[in-house]
A and B are shown apart, each in its own frame.
Chain A
Amino acid sequence: MKKEKEEEPEVYDLNKGKKSWELSRRNFLSGAAVAGAAFAAAGLQKKAEAETEAPFPNYKCPQVVAHKGPVNCLAFTSNGKFLISGSDDNKVKIWDVSKQGLIQVLSKHTSDVNELAVSPDGKWFITGDESDRVLVWDAVKGTLRKRFSRHAHNITGLGVTRDGNAVSVDSFGFIKYWRLPSGSLIQGWSADNSIYGLAVSPNGQYAATGHWEKIELWSLRQNDLGTMIAKFGDHKGSIEHLVFGEDNQTLATGSTGSAYLKIWSIPSGKLIRTINRAHLNKVYALAISPNGNFLASGGKNSFVKVWNFPNGSAKNRLSIRKVYATSLAISPDSTIVAVGQEDGKIRLCKLLTSDHLGCLMDIDVNPNTKGGTKYKYRDSSGRWITVTIPDSSCATPLPQGAVCVCNTVPGSCGCVGDTCSCVGYTCSCQGNCSCAGYSHYWYPN
C-alpha cells in the first residue's frame, strides 16, 4: 500500500494483443497526442538552461522557511511596514519587513490560502482559500473581523477598490462585489466560464477576470456595475495572473499555458505588446510596482524577471535556483520585491539591483534548520525575540540566562546534564540544549 502511494504518475500506451490488451509505459511528453507541445517545450528548455548559466549574486537563502507549503499569495500593507503571506499550509502570516520577523500567525483557514488583497487605507485585508472561505481581517489588530460566505466554490481571486469595496471570484465563475468590512453584498453576477484570476483597476472602475485563454473586463462603475465591457485574449491555458497598470489603461497578463506575458489596452482589449519567452512555458506570479513603472514576473525557469512597463523591455532578473516563484509583491515605494516560493520560502530583494535583503523565517516550520541560524519573532507581549539554532543537535551549551526550547513531541526530547520539564510540545532545559532529531533553539541570545 505504501509503495502505491509513493509511485510516480505514469501514462501508458495501449495495444490490442492477440487475446488481450498490452500496456507499455511511456514518457509524459511522448506520443502523438502531445508531440507538438513536447517539441515546443523542448525548444524552450534549451533557452532556460542557457539562462541558468548566469547565477545572480546572493541568490542563496539560508535554510529558513516561512511556510510549510508553497507561498501562494503575498501583499505589502499600504505603509510598507508589513508583509502578509498565505500558503498551502492553511496559514496567513504577518511579517515585519524592516525587522524581517514574524509578527502573527492567523489560522482560521481550513484549506490552502490562495488569494489575498489589502485595502488601500491599510485597515483591512481579505484572504481566500481553496474551499469557499473568504475572511476579512483587521490589519491593525490582526484579528478576524468577518467571514464572507457568499461563495460556494474555491476562491480564485480577490481585489479591493480604492473606495474600500471588495471583489471576489471563484472557480465556477461567480463574481461578488461587496462592502468591506461588513461583507454586505452590493451585487453578484457570473461569467460564462471558470475564473482563474482577478485584477481590480487602481481607480476601482474595472475588474478583469482570467479564464481559459480569454480575459473578460467588467465594469465596477455604479451606473453599469457587472456589465461585461470587453472579452479578449489569445493566451494558452488558464489565465491566473492579471495586474492593472497604475494608469488604469493597461493590463498585464500571464497564463499557465504559455511562456509569454501580454500587455493590453483597457478598456478596448487591444493587444499592445507581447513579451516573448518571459518564462519557460508557465507564468506563476505577476506583480506591478505601485509607481507603475515596473512589472515583475515569476515562472517556470527559476527566475524572477523585472520589466519596464508598459514597453516590456527587460530591466532586471533574480535567480532563485531550482524552485519557482509562486507569488510576488512589490513594496509601496517600489524598491523591494517579496518573492514567495514553492518551497515555502519568502525572500526580500531590491527590485532593481537584486540585492538580497534576507529571508523570512518561522521556526515552527523549520525542523532541520542549519545550526547558527538566527531569526526574530514577536512574542505575545510584543517583545522582539531573537533566537539561535544550536550548532550541534546534541548538548549545545546555552548562553547565560538562555532558555532552550524544543519543538518536539512530548516525552521524546531530553536535556543533557540538567533537569528538564516537558509541557505539551515544549521541552525547556536549564543547562545544555538537546532535542536530537527535532527542531530546537534557545533564547535570548
Chain B
Amino acid sequence: MNTYVVPFEEKFLIYRPLLHVAFLGNRAMAETAQRYTNGRRKKVRLRDRDAYFFLERIGFLQPDPPSPPARPHRYQPKSVVLLMTNRCNLRCTYCYAAAGEKRREDMPLNLAFHAVDIAAANALKSQMASFDLVFHGGGEPTQHWSVLTQTISYARKKPIHCNISVSSNGVWSEKQRNYLLENLDGLSLSFDGLQEVQDAQRPTAGGGSSFACVMKTIKAMDKKKFPYNIRITWTRQHAKAFAESVRFFCTETGCRKIQVEPAFHPGRAGWKNPNPQEADLFITTFKEALDVARSRGAELMYAGARPWMTLCSFCTAAEDALVVRPDGKLVACYEITDSRHPLADFFTIGRLGADGPEIFSETLNRLGQMRKERLDLCKDCFCVWHCGGDCSSRCFSADGTGHLRFEERCRINREISKEILAQYIVNSGGVWRGNIRIPQEEQTCEDTFCDACKRKNPAHCLKLVKQ
C-alpha cells in the first residue's frame, strides 16, 4: 500500500494517494498508519488499538485500488494535436516558441487530414465513441485559418464523433469568432487577467493592447454559454497582481476553470528553473489566488499538482496523442514546436509519411525509459501521483542524457499539492475521502502495474495463476 507522511504545519499529512484518503496527525499517528499499511503487519499492537480502529473506520487500511495505467505497450494515438503554425498576432513576453519571429512554417492541408485519418482509425479500431482533435500553439492556430476550417470540416465528416478544441489567444475577428463558437467543442483561452497585466505581457504584434479584443471573445462565449477555460501565465513581474487577476476572471467572466503556469525565464524562447525566491513567490501568490477562486466557486489549477487525480504520466503527448508539427515530425511535447529547440532530437519520436506514422522506436523507447526512471526516482514522493513525474521537457537535461535535479519546481508541486489536500481535509470535516478518477476503460490488466506487488499483470487482475 502506498502511504505517505508529509510534514505540514509541524504535524503530518497522512495520505494514501491511490485510495484518496488523507488526514492530519502527529508523528505517533503517522508511524502507526505506516505500520499497518506497509503490507507486513496484521495483528494489532495493544498500544495501537485506538489508532488502528480509527484508521480502519475511515477506510485507511483498505487495499489500494489498481494504480493508473502506465504507458501503453504500443503507440496507437487516438487523439491528434496539430501544431498549426508559428505565426502569431501577439508578441507575448514569455512565449516559449518565440512565435511570429521566425521563418513562416504552416501545416499543409494534406498533412492535417492524414493525421486526422490516423487518429480516427485508431479510435474506431479501439471501439471508442469519439476521438479528439486539438489545434495547439507554437503560434496562434487561427492564423492558419484556411487549413484550420477545412480540417474541422473534414474531421466532422468522419464516421466517428470528433471532439474539437483550440488553444488560442482569443484575438479573433468577428467572422472567426462566429465560426469558432459555432464549430468548436471547447477552447483553452490564454489570457492574463487585469488589463495592465494582459497588455504588458501579451501585447499585439504591433505593440498594442490585446485586452479589449479578448474580452469581446469572452463576452461572446459567455453569452453563448460556450465551454472554455482560461490559461493564465504567472510571471515574477506581475506576481502581486495574480490574485487580483483571478478575482477579475471570477467576477468579470463566466469561466470557472482557470489554469496557471508560471514562466520564470526573463524573455521569449527561453526556459529556466526557478530560484528559491521565485518559487516562494509563486507558492505564496498561488495560495492567495486559490483562496480567491474558492471563495467564488471557481477552480484554480496548476498542472504539477493535481491531487484529485492519480497519474502515471504528466501528460499524454508521448502516449495517446499524435502531436504533429508543420514539417510532419511527430513530437512528444506540445511545447517543442521547432527543430532548433535544445530537446528537439530527444522528443522527436517520428515522422508522418504517406504510409502512416513512421516511429523512431529508439527515441520513443529512450523517452519511455527516461520517464520510467523518473517515476522510480520519484517513488518516495507523495506528489508523484499528482504530477506524474512532472513535465518531461522540464525535468530532462537538454542533451537527453540524464535527469535534472529535484529542485524548486518539485518544491512548488509539493507545496501546492499539500495546500490543496489540506483544503480537502477541511472541507471533509477532518478526513478526506475522495473518489478516484481512473477511467474505467483504461483499467486493463495488460497495462496495469500494481504498486503493491510491483508486478505487471498483478494478482488483482488474474483469477488464476498456475505456477
Interface residues of A (CB under 8 A from B): 4, 7-16, 20-21, 23, 26, 28-29, 31-34, 37, 70, 72, 88, 111-112, 114, 130-131, 150, 152-154, 156, 171-174, 185, 187-194, 196, 212, 226-228, 237-238, 240, 256-257, 281-282, 326, 342-343
The reply to whether the CB of B376 lies closer than 8 angstroms to some CB of chain A is: no
Q: Which residues of B contact A15 (CB under 8 A)?
A: 426
Measured between C-beta atoms, what is the minimum distance from A131 to chain B in Å? Answer: 7
Q: Mark B437-467, 1 if CB is under 8 A from A, else 0.
A: 0000000000000001100000110111111
A31 touches B51 (CB 8 A): no
A37 and B57 form a contact (CB under 8 A):
yes
Do A131 and B466 touch (CB < 8 A)? no
Q: Could you list 12 examples of A-B contacts with CB < 8 Å?
A: A7-B28, A9-B29, A9-B51, A12-B25, A13-B24, A31-B431, A32-B428, A32-B429, A34-B57, A70-B43, A114-B42, A256-B56
Chain A residues, Cβ within 8 Å of B58? 33-34
Do A88 and B28 touch (CB < 8 A)?
A: no
Mark interface residues in B1-22 (1 if CB within 8 Å of A CB, else 0): 0000000110100000000000
- Contact yes or no, B467 A185, CB < 8 A: yes
- Is the CB of B46 closer than 8 A to any CB of chain A? yes
- The 8 A CB mask of B34-53 against A (1 = contact, 0 = none) is 00000111111110101101
Q: In the assembly, what is the distance between CA of A282 and CA of B27, in Å?
A: 26
Contact A171 B42 (CB under 8 A): yes
Known contacts: A172-B39, A237-B56. The answer to whether A11 contacts B422 by CB under 8 A is no
Query: Is B63's CB within 8 Å of the partner chain A?
Result: yes
Contact assessment for A212 and B62 in the assembled complex, using a CB-CB cutoff below 8 Å? yes
* Residues of chain A contacted by B145 (CB below 8 angstroms): none
Chain A proximity of B253: nearest CB distance (Å): 26
Is A212 in contact with B467, judged by CB distance below 8 angstroms? no
Contacts A9-B48, A189-B463 known; 11 new A-B pairs at CB < 8 A:
A9-B51, A12-B26, A33-B430, A37-B57, A88-B43, A114-B42, A187-B466, A192-B463, A228-B463, A237-B56, A238-B61
User: A257 and B56: CB pair below 8 A?
Assistant: yes
Question: Are A11 and B50 also in contact (CB < 8 A) when A31-B431, A32-B429, A114-B42 are?
Answer: no
- Flag if A12 contacts B28 (CB, 8 Å): no
A173 to chain B, nearest CB (A): 5
B42 touches A33 (CB 8 A): no
- Across-interface contacts of A228 in B (CB, < 8 A): 463
A23, A32, A70, A174: which contacts B46 (Cβ < 8 A)?
A70
Could you tell me the distance between the alpha carbons of A26 and B425 in the complex, rounded to whole angstroms? 14
A130 touches B42 (CB 8 A): yes
- Hey, which chain A residues are within 8 Å of B61, CB to CB? 238
Q: Which residues of B contact A196 (CB under 8 A)?
A: 42
Contact A14 B430 (CB under 8 A): yes
Nearest B-chain residue to A16, judged by Cβ: B426
Q: Does B363 contact A (CB under 8 A)?
A: no
Most interface-central of A12, A32, A114, A227 (chain B CB within 10 A): A12
Question: Any chain A CB within 8 A of the CB of B93?
Answer: no
Among B25, B27, B39, B63, point to the contact of A193 (Cβ < 8 A).
B63
Partner of B430, one of A13, A153, A154, A172: A13
Judge whether A190 and B9 touch: CB under 8 Å.
no
Closest to B291 in A: A16
Interface contact B42-A23, CB-CB below 8 Å:
no
Known contacts A10-B29, A172-B453, A193-B63; A188/B466 CB under 8 A: yes
The reply to whether A188 and B465 form a contact with Cβ atoms under 8 Å apart is: yes
Cα of A153 to Cα of B455 in the assembled complex, Å: 13
Verify if B282 is at the interface (C-beta below 8 Å from A): no
Does any Cβ of A come within 8 Å of B23's Cβ?
yes
Pair A171/B24 contact, Cβ less than 8 Å: no
Contacts of A282 in B (CB 8 A): 53
Task: Find A21's partner among B422, B459, B464 (CB 8 Å cutoff).
Answer: B422
Q: Name the one of B25, B62, B428, B463 contacting A11, with C-beta atoms under 8 angstroms.
A: B25
Q: How far is the CA of A134 from the CA of B296 in the complex (A)?
A: 59
Interchain nearest-CB distance for A325 vs B (Å): 13
Indicate if B149 sits at the interface (CB-CB under 8 A): no
A9 contacts B32, CB within 8 Å?
yes
* Partner pick for B27 among A7, A14, A32, A240, CB 8 A cutoff: A7
Q: Which residue of B lies closest to A343 (CB)?
A: B46
Given the known A-B contacts A7-B28, A13-B430, are A154 and B40 also in contact in the complex, defined by CB atoms under 8 Å? yes
CA A29 to CA B430, docked complex, whole Å: 11
Q: Is the CB of A33 within 8 A of B429?
A: yes
Q: Say if the beta carbon of B360 comes within 8 Å of chain A.
A: no
B54 within 8 A of A: yes
Over the window 128-143 of chain B, the binary record of Cβ atoms lying under 8 Å from chain A Cβ atoms (1 yes, 0 no) is 0000000000000000
B281 CB → nearest A CB, Å:
16
**Residues of the A chain whose Cβ atoms lie less than 8 Å from the Cβ of B63:** 193-194, 212
- Point out the residues of chain A lying under 8 angstroms from B361, CB to CB: none
Cβ distance A354 to chain B, nearest Cβ, rounded Å: 24
Contact A10 B28 (CB under 8 A): yes
Check B144 for interface membership: any CB of A closer than 8 A: no
Tell me which residues across on chain A come within 8 A of B460, comparing CB atoms.
173, 192-193
Provide the residues of chain A in CB contact with B459, threshold 8 Å.
172-174, 190-192
Contact yes or no, B54 A189, CB < 8 A: no
Q: How far is the CB of A147 from chain B (nearest CB, A)?
A: 18
Q: Give the residue name and chain of the B residue nearest to A154 (CB).
A: B40
Contact B43 A156 (CB under 8 A): no
Cα A111 to Cα B465 in complex, Å, equals 28
Given contacts A11-B430, A12-B11, A173-B460, contact A114 B43 (CB under 8 A): yes
- Inter-chain contacts of B42 with A (CB < 8 A): 114, 130, 154, 156, 171, 196, 240
Closest A residue to B462 using CB positions:
A190
| Set of chain B residues within 8 Å of A14, measured between Cβ atoms | 24, 422, 425-426, 430
The 8 Å CB contact of B41, one of A13, A26, A154, A212, is A154
Inter-subunit contact A154/B39 (CB<8 Å): yes
- Whether, in the assembled complex, B161 has its beta carbon less than 8 Å from a beta carbon of chain A, the answer is no
CB of B366 closer than 8 Å to a CB of A: no
Query: Nearest 4 CB-CB pairs, A to B?
Result: A32-B429, A33-B431, A190-B459, A9-B29
Closest chain B residue to A187, Cβ basis = B466
**CB–CB A11/B43 < 8 A:** no
Instruction: Give the CA-CA distance A228 to B430 in the complex, in Å.
Output: 40
A257: chain B residues at CB < 8 Å are 56
Contacts of A31 in B (CB 8 A): 429-431
CB neighbours (8 Å) of B51 from chain A are 9, 28
Judge if B423 is at the interface, Cβ distance under 8 Å.
Answer: yes
Which of B31, B40, B466 has the most CB atoms of chain A within a 10 A radius of its CB? B40
Asked whether B433 is an interface residue with its Cβ less than 8 Å from the other chain, the reply is yes
CA of A276 to CA of B226, assembled, Å: 57
Chain A residue at minimum C-beta to C-beta distance from B460:
A192
| Complex Cα spacing A154 to B56, Å | 19
* Bound CA–CA A37/B24 (angstroms): 19
Q: Is the CB of A190 within 8 A of B465?
A: yes
How many whole Å from B383's CB to the nearest CB in chain A?
Answer: 19
| Closest partner residue, chain A, to B431 (CB atom) | A33
Q: Is the CB of B430 within 8 A of A26?
A: yes
Smallest CB–CB gap between B6 and chain A, Å?
Answer: 13
Residues of B with C-beta under 8 A to A33: 23, 58, 428-431, 433
What is the CA–CA distance of A326 and B45 in the complex, to the nearest angstrom? 11
